[in-house]
Amino acid sequence: MFSFQYPGPNQKIPITTKISMAVWIILALVLLSFFAFSFFVIALLVGVVLFTASLFQKNRRTTTRSQQDFHTRPYTPKQKDDDIIDI
C-alpha cells in the first residue's frame, strides 16, 4: 500500500492522491464486506446442514420434558446461639 505524505499547511493535496486514497478505502470496505458476507453464508449453510441432519437422525431422543413433582416442605428457621459473635 502506498504511503501518503502530508504536503504542509499552504499546499493542496493533489487530485491523484485524493483519488488513490478513495480507491484504497473503497477496496478495503469491499474486501471487509466480502469476508463478512462469506462467513455469514458459511454459518448459514452449517446451520442448515445440522438442522437437516437432526431431522433424519434415527433413535432421536424426544425433546419433551417429563413433569416432575416438586417436593415442598415448610420453612423452619434454625436459630443457634453459636452464630452470634460477642466482641
Q: What is the mean pLDDT of residues 34-38?
A: 93
pLDDT cut 70: percent of the chain above it: 67
Task: Name residue, grid cell 434454625.
Answer: 78
Q: Where are the domains of the chain?
A: 18-53
- Rounded to whole angstroms, the Cα distance separating 36 from 30 reads 10
CA 21 to chain centroid, in Å, comes to: 31
Provide the pLDDT for residue 71.
72
How far is it, in rounded angstroms, from Cα 25 to Cα 65? Answer: 54
**Band of the pLDDT at 61, cuts 50, 70, 90?**
low
How many angstroms separate the Cα of 51 from the Cα of each of 17, 39, 46?
51, 18, 9
Structure pTM? 0.45
**Range of lowest pLDDT (19-23, 39-43, 66-70):** 66-70
User: From residue 27, how far is each of 23, 39, 81 by CA, in Å?
Assistant: 6, 18, 75
Q: Is the pLDDT of residue 39 over 90?
A: yes
What pLDDT, on a 0 to 100 scale, did the predictor assign at position 55?
84
